[in-house]
Each structure stands twice: as C-alpha cells, then as structure tokens.
Amino acid sequence: MATLKLRSVAIDTYRENVAYLHRDCHVYHSEGFQALNKIEIRREENGEAVIAVLNIVDDESITAPGELGLSEQVFQQLGLPEGTPVRVRHATPPRSIQAVHRKIEGEALSAQDYRDIIQDIVENRYSKIEMAAFLVGCAETGFERNEVLHLTRAMVETGDRLQWNEPLVADKHCIGGIPGNRTTMLIVPIVAAHGLCMPKTSSRAITSPAGTADTMEVLAQVDLSPERMREIVHQHRGCLAWGGTARLAPADDILISVERPLSMDSPGQMVASILSKKVAAGSSHLLLDIPLGPTAKVRSHRDALRLRKLFEYVGDRMGITLEVVITDGTQPIGRGIGPVLEARDVMQVLRGDPAAPVDLREKALRLAGRILEFDPDVRGGQGYFLARDILDSGRALARMEAIIDAQGRNPHPPEPGKLVREVRASRDGRVAAIDNLRMASLARLAGAPLDKGAGVDLHRKVGDPVRRNEVLYVIHADFPANFEFACEAASQDDGYTLEEV
Amino acid sequence: MATLKLRSVAIDTYRENVAYLHRDCHVYHSEGFQALNKIEIRREENGEAVIAVLNIVDDESITAPGELGLSEQVFQQLGLPEGTPVRVRHATPPRSIQAVHRKIEGEALSAQDYRDIIQDIVENRYSKIEMAAFLVGCAETGFERNEVLHLTRAMVETGDRLQWNEPLVADKHCIGGIPGNRTTMLIVPIVAAHGLCMPKTSSRAITSPAGTADTMEVLAQVDLSPERMREIVHQHRGCLAWGGTARLAPADDILISVERPLSMDSPGQMVASILSKKVAAGSSHLLLDIPLGPTAKVRSHRDALRLRKLFEYVGDRMGITLEVVITDGTQPIGRGIGPVLEARDVMQVLRGDPAAPVDLREKALRLAGRILEFDPDVRGGQGYFLARDILDSGRALARMEAIIDAQGRNPHPPEPGKLVREVRASRDGRVAAIDNLRMASLARLAGAPLDKGAGVDLHRKVGDPVRRNEVLYVIHADFPANFEFACEAASQDDGYTLEEV
C-alpha cells in the first residue's frame, strides 16, 4: 500500500490530534479522507497506531501532496522522525462507542463497559464530540451511583498509582468555585509539622483564576520528579507539587478538555474525577470541602448532602477514609484572587501578619484540625486547637520555608501586575454580596493564572460598610489587552451588591 | 485596543471555524487565548463578528506574531481582504447553551428555547462539542413530540423557503439505510409525466455510498440556480436537483456534521431534519418510505410504527399532507451500489431493459402510485397501474431524457471503476441474507460517492441459489488505495449469509 512522508506542522492543537493532508494527495480520493474525518496513522502494517482528525490543506508549504502533516501533539505521540514513510487508513469508531450509545438510550452500563470506554479515551481513540456524547450521557439523571464507582475504578486502573509505604497518607480537596480559597498551602505545613504524611499533588487552574500548583509556583518549583517528591516527603512529611507529571488517572485530564468548554460539572463526573486522582495518588485519608452558597458550585443544602452521600458511597468502596465538610461559599476567601495575590495572603497568615485575612486563616485551621484528627492520637474536637498552636508558634511557617527550599525556592518571585485599576463603590452602603463567578471571571480576563501577577485584590468583603467612591477592589494585569478586557467587564458588572445600611 | 493583521491560511477545516495565532503574539498572554478556546473576530468595535476555535502556531510562515490566521471557511465568512486589521476577544458561550443544559437535566424546552438554539447554531456560534451536547440531550427518551415540532419549526424559520404557486407540490423521501434504493429517479419522471408538480431537491450522500444528487449527477448537472430550477419545473413538471444551493433549513446541514461522526440518528432528530427540509422546499404532499429489516435503520415493526406516528404528528402541525409507507428493507434494492452503477439500474428500468432489476422497478411503481393518488382525479388503488402504464409506454423515459437535457446532459458520463474484484461464494447454497450496512461500507471504502464509478455490483440477491466459486458481487474502484481498503474489508466479512438448500 502507498505510504506518505511524515512531516511536522508547527501548530498546537492542544488535546485534539489533527493531521494535514493536501487536497491533491492520491489517497485523498474518498469520502473517508475529507476534512474532520478520523484517520489512523502507523508506520508498519501492525505497528502502533495514532488517531487524528483530518484537515485538508491547499498550500504546499504547509503540507505537500505525498506528505502527511501532523500537529505538534500527534507528531510527538507517534515519535517518528520527519520523512518516515507512514500508512494511513480510515479510523473505525472505537468499539466502546456502542456502550456510549446504550448509555444515551438510558441503560446502566457495567464495570466492563466503563473499563472499555476509559481505555479507549486514554489511548486517544475518542474525538472531542465522542467524549462530549459520553459526558452528556453520564450527566443525565440516569447515572447511577454504582456507575460512578465503575467509572472511578476504570479511571484509576488506566493510569499509574503512587505508593507511600505509610499507614496514613493525608489529603484534602475542595470541589472548587470559590476564588482565593487557597487553604491547602496552609494545611500542608500545619499537618506536616504535626508529623502526618501529606504529599500533596495539585492541579493547575482549569476554570479558576488560580490552582494550588499555580500559586505555589510563585514561591517555589512545583514540577517535581516522583523521586524528588519522595525525598522531600521523606524529609519534611509534606510537599506542594504539581500532579501533572505523574500519570494519575490520565482519562480525567483528557475528559476535562471537553468538560471545561461545555461547563459540564455533573456530580457523577466530579466525584469520579476527584476520587480517582486521590486513590491514584496513594491517599488513604481525604478531607473534602464542599462550599455552599448562591454563586458557589453547590447552591442548596439538599444538593450538598446528595453530593456528600455520593462521595461517601464511592470513597468507601474505593477503600479511602473520607470526611466531607460543607463550608461557607457565599463569597471569595481571603483578599487576593490570582497566583501572586493569593500567595501573598498565604504567607501573611503563616507569618502571623496583622494584615492577614482572618477568613482564610480560620477556614484553614478548621480544615487542618479535621485532618489532624485522622491521627488516632489526637482527641476528637482537639484538632482545631492543635492546628492553631502549630500555626501561632511559627512551626507551620518554618515547615513551609523548609518545603519551599526543598522544592527549589523561586529566586525572583513575580510581583502583582503593574497595570492597576481601582474599582470603586457607586454609593454609600454595606456590601451585601460578592459574586464568586464574576470575581473569578474578572481575574481570568486580567490574565490569571497564566500571568502570575494578574488578578483581583479585594478591599471590601461581605458585611463591610463602604462610602461612595471608596475602593471595593483593585484589578492587576501585566498586558494591556487583558487589562482592557477585565476593566471593561468590571464596568459592565462589578460583581458587588451594595445595600442600604 | 491592539489589532492583528488578517491572513488566510489555506487549510480546509470543513464545518469547524479555526483561527491561528502565533505563540508569541502579544494578545496571547491569557488563558482565554490558548488552543481550543473560542474567540470572536471583528473588524470594528460593533461590526459583524465571526467565532472561531484557536490553534496556536509555532511557525511564522503559517501565521506570524501580529497576524491572525483564518482557515478557509472563516476567512470566507468574514469576507475581508488579507492585511485588514481585526480585533479579537474571548467569545462568550452562546446564551442558548443554558437551555441545552436544562435539556440535559431532563427539562422539556419551549418553542422559544429551540428558536434561540437553532439561531445560534445557524450563526456558527456553537462549537462541535456544544452541538454534540445538544444532540445527545435531545436523543434521550425525554425528548417529547412537541419539542420535535418546536425544533422542526425553528429549523424552517432560520432558513429560506421556496414558493411554487402550485396547489399540489409532491415530494418523497426515504429515511435511508438501504443501498441501491434509487427509486426517486424513477418516481419523478413518472409523476411529472402524469402532470403533478414534483420539483425534487435531494442531498448528496452523507453516510451512504450514493445520494440521489450524486447519482443524477452521473447523467446531468444537478447544481441548479433557483431560477433555472423554476424554469425546468415550469416546462417539465419535475426536476432532480441538488438542494445544497438553496439555504433550506441550514441548521440541519450544520448539525449533520456532528451527527455523522457520532452515528446519531435519533427519531426526533430524523423527523425534524427531514420535515424541515421538505417544508422549506415548499412541498405540500410528502410520501415517506420507512424500510424495515434486520440491517435497516428501523429494525422492528414497533419502532417503525412509533416513527410513523411521530412523522404524522409533526407533519400535520407543519401543514404538510403526509403518508408513510413501511417497505421491505431486508437487503439492498436493485443491483448497483454507487452513483454510476445505480444510474445504470435506473436507466435500465426506464428503458424496459430485460436486465433491469425487478425489485427496483416494483418498489418505484408502488411509491409512484401512492404519490399519483395524491391527485384528486386518481381513483384510490389505481395509482400503481397508472404508474406502470406511464413507465411501460416509454413516457417516463421520455420525460427523464427531457429533464436530463434541461438540466444539462453530462456529455461524458463516467464509467464503472476500472479496478475490479469479484467476490465469490465459499460454498454451494442459497443466499439467506445480505447485510445492508456491510454492502454500503464496502462501496464507500471503494470510493463511492466521491469516485462516481466506485461501488459494488450485486450478482446474487436473497433467495438466489449459488454454487461454490460463483460470483456474489463485484467491487469497482478507481484508485488503488481505496480498492485495497474495500477488498481487504470484503475478505474479512463479505456481507453475505449462505444457507444449505
């Protein structure tokens, strides 16, 4: 069979594999080789195959007839040099797509079905629209809790697992949605200083203005090899690393690339996504934070309880000790929103700075206290006080500094963005509400989390009195275009509700 | 705000708008400008906007910093010359996506919801994964028949409508799935010769090896302007044109680009898709063919009846006179599968050739007879005999030749593909079954419908006795790669089931 010469096309198509074929190419003469069709590319008859979606090229300088261009992602996956002869054929839809159709028709799928689907997803056999079909099928009310368990297990099994050889490996997770909620960077040093093992791996922000990994990166390196992470945890009992290097529940990372633009966040997917990562990371004990509020992800007590039960059902069956706390999600936590500003808040709390935000400190102590009580030697109800002692004595700060040095201190930590806009109160009154979604959106428009110094710095919180023209918050940005996007959005809706006193 | 210089990138991305931005471009410094995000592109602050998905480029020869590259589709949509300064901003998700989320949660949507969704889709505001979410949401059992009506109406309203100033405009449609089922090219000349108005617009093949437009194109031009079509219908009472030039229910064409790769064919979508096109085309009377068989689209009598009721419910409320016939869909109709081979079958029937396939002739007469009975002057039950008279007298052939000449006869009709493989019986016996899906797939692999001469020519049909090594069917192809794909697939599964006599 005729072959094509491999060529790298320097286009970043993120999680979508794209192949480029010239319109006048001899294998193109069939319906199967039109734009947006899926093809299978391999070097030899029975060699490893990669799957890609076709784009048709009319410019020989991008891809000439007789060549097969591959976007950066696919070219890397295939791992062959340019000029290598490759064979191309129609990609058949992944076999597990039949199960997705059954799910769409309302059937409950088996553990084997979920294994097959997740295996195909991990092997990049699903297109984005096939993943969307799967996610929407599972978002329906007909997604049973046993299916969530099957899905979680399949996601763990298709990736690597970390082993810590520790009787108790503590972890915490927040379901997200509350800007500035950077408690993890306080909890880890407190818990580690107490002596519990807490090798924290975090993600970068997906839909929020900052993840723990983005914020920790302001202070230290977070991209640690598994070996280095192990050494640091051995010495300091904790770390704050980016979880992206380990192949933990890789299906989750792929599915997120479709969930994010769709704003899909169904309870079943959320539980499977979180618990699969935790189990794969080797955690034995997990504290889960579900913030509740009118602009939080969970907006009613009933929904919060239902989500808690689902976490408990799956967590128990995955063999992880799990506690759920429902917390106040009515407004952002702390003052800063965005990596640099949030890192500043965290360090203020650790240093006992009088300017430190009280709500961030109190929430971190409450959650750290619950984790400390996973320790059999800590008396029930004493965790909070123990955590407070560790923080106020400076032991948490010392541990944080040690972890920063061990991970690799950032010699030139970035500053808050130099482009600054003060957003002011339009009248006298009291702050009645702050919209979490709006504040997150403003910080992202300003450039967070990619621009570390970009974000929003809150000067007033709910309940604070304000006078007309007083500053409610300050927008920081590094680049003019982003700055204008954020300022324009704030002028349309500043996210604050003021009430008469 | 900073602008970028417009540049055309000669890549065909079919129905997905793609924009290319260099990685080092100054507006790129934000989460919103990473690969796969959606951006809005416009010339002036409040000018017309187009929406595109971003790809990031690392090669200045494709798109340099300071430039915004657009794939062929978007570049045409925007309609501005290269070098034009344009502004770029984050595209907000279409507002109607909220309704899609409500649908996914199981809510029945209102007529206004469907209008909003379809309007956004027609304006290219939906990404492929957003369309997939909509389609899967509507594929659920919770898609009520009133919603199908709302969807149909919205699809008609967002496009153009043809007016014929005729009391009776006849149309027919088959839901598809049966290869070789080219009855339309027989029905139109019969019905037009009788004097009923039948301005047939057809699609090209989507998932099948040949559509009526592809097959008619073997004989004549099918890409007619609305004016030319009107003249031909005025003179000959019928035509066989491609419907793609008129903007009839354009949302359907866009949704198909997602339905096809997903193999989604839910009853609600099917009814909305078919009836919106027919109403927009100005048809007053429609005969609907639902083939029933184990490898057809509809596989049980219960499903066929349910689909009939749904067609009737929506058709009645859209003001179209609709009759449904359930036909034999157990095997392909006629002998040829693929445009040239099917055109040959059609002309054999019209010419009264003794070699003409009887099943194609009989099915066409039955359906044409039902359409003739839409004429108030034709007595119930007489349609079939009237149709047979028109065919056997040569009047149908004469009308077909007149229509071919009027549309523009193809002076050099293509021939069956020169690459030929005979597929033979492995043993003595009788043909028990022929798999419609398999035969369609073989013809497509061979290159149909893009290569007109490619396809499959059946020498044996269900019930025929065969001896070992006798030819079951012949594969035709024009290009070696396609030929190999088809031959290899046939050697794995030839689609025939033989039984002991």
* Residues A43-61 pLDDT 10s: 876 677 888 888 999 999 9
Asked whether the beta carbons of B280 and B247 are under 8 A apart, the reply is no
Least confident of B227-231, B478-482, B492-496: B478-482
Q: Determine the pLDDT at residue A141.
A: 67
Mean pLDDT, to the nearest integer, of B436-464? 95
Tell me the pLDDT band of B266, cut-offs 50, 70 and 90: confident
Number of neighbouring beta carbons within 10 Å of residue B492? 8
**Which of A32, A71, A450 is opposite residue B30, by nearest beta carbon?**
A450
Question: Which residues are registered as beta bridge partners of A323?
Answer: A287
- pLDDT at residue A31 is higher than 60: no
- Answer whether A108 touches B (CB < 8 Å): no
Taking alpha carbons only, the member of A122, B84, A19 closest to residue B75 is B84
In angstroms, the CA A53 to CA A17 distance is 6
Asked whether the beta carbons of A320 and A274 are under 8 A apart, the reply is no
Which residues of B fall within a CB distance of 8 Å from A444? 30-32
Which residues of A fall within a CB distance of 8 Å from B55? 11-13, 18, 71
Least confident of A469-473, B287-291, B482-486: B482-486
| Residue indicated by tokens 């997903």 | B262
Contacts of A403 (CB under 8 A, 6+ apart): A188, A189, A192, A220, A232, A236, A238, A239, A240
Please give the residue that has the higher pLDDT: either B256 or B432: B432
Question: Which residues are registered as beta bridge partners of A288?
Answer: A173, A324
Pairing between strand A496-499 and A429-434?
antiparallel
* Token pair in block for residue B477: 């192809």
Mean pLDDT, to the nearest integer, of B219-232? 94
- pLDDT at residue A278 is higher than 90: yes
- Answer whether B93 touches A (CB < 8 Å): yes
In angstroms, the CA A229 to CA A164 distance is 11
- Decide if A265 is catalytic: yes
Contacts of A259 (CB under 8 A, 6+ apart): A135, A265, A269
- pLDDT at residue B142 is higher than 80: no
- pLDDT at residue A34 is higher than 90: no
Asked whether the beta carbons of B175 and B287 are under 8 A apart, the reply is no
- pLDDT at residue A366 is higher than 80: yes
Mean pLDDT, to the nearest integer, of A389-412? 98
Interchain proximity A2–B480, CB inside 8 Å: yes
Q: Which amino acid is at A96?
A: S
- pLDDT at residue B31 is higher than 60: no
Which of A51-55, A205-209, A381-385 is modeled with the greatest confidence? A381-385
Coil, strand or helix: which one is A51? strand
- pLDDT at residue A32 is higher than 70: no
Contacts of A320 (CB under 8 A, 6+ apart): A275, A278, A279, A283, A284, A285, A286
Least confident of A177-191, A426-440, B18-32, B318-332: B18-32
- pLDDT at residue B141 is higher than 70: no
- pLDDT at residue B461 is higher than 70: yes
- Answer whether A450 touches B (CB < 8 Å): yes
Interchain proximity B11–A56, CB inside 8 Å: yes
**Which of B12, B30, B72 is opposite residue A482, by nearest beta carbon?**
B30
**Which of A12, A264, A484 is opposite residue B58, by nearest beta carbon?**
A12
Taking alpha carbons only, the member of B352, B384, B345 closest to residue B368 is B384
Tell me the pLDDT band of A258, cut-offs 50, 70 and 90: confident
| pLDDT single digits (tens) A225-255 | 989 999 999 999 999 999 877 789 999 988 9
* Token pair in block for residue B57: 């480029």
**Secondary structure of chain B: what % helix, strand, coil (to 5)?**
40, 20, 40
- Answer whether B263 touches A (CB < 8 Å): yes
CA A372, A376, A377, A378 torsion-angle sign: positive
**Which of A11, A29, A105 is opposite residue B482, by nearest beta carbon?**
A29
Q: What are the structural domains of chain B?
A: 4-90 (2.40.40.20), 97-143 (no CATH), 170-407 (3.40.1030.10), 419-499 (3.90.1170.30)
- Average pLDDT over all residues of chain A: 93
Residues 460 to 489 of A: which have CB under 8 A from any B CB? 478-482, 484-485
Number of neighbouring beta carbons within 10 Å of residue A377? 8
| pLDDT single digits (tens) B354-406 | 999 999 999 999 999 999 999 999 999 999 999 999 999 999 999 999 999 99
Give the ipTM of the model, two decimals please. 0.85
Least confident of A39-43, B44-48, B165-169: B44-48
Question: Which residues are registered as beta bridge partners of A434?
Answer: A496
Please tell me the pTM assigned to this model: 0.88
Interchain proximity A106–B140, CB inside 8 Å: yes
Please give the residue that has the higher pLDDT: either B71 or A501: B71
Mean pLDDT, to the nearest integer, of A289-312? 96
Which of A77-86, A259-268, A396-405 is modeled with the greatest confidence? A396-405
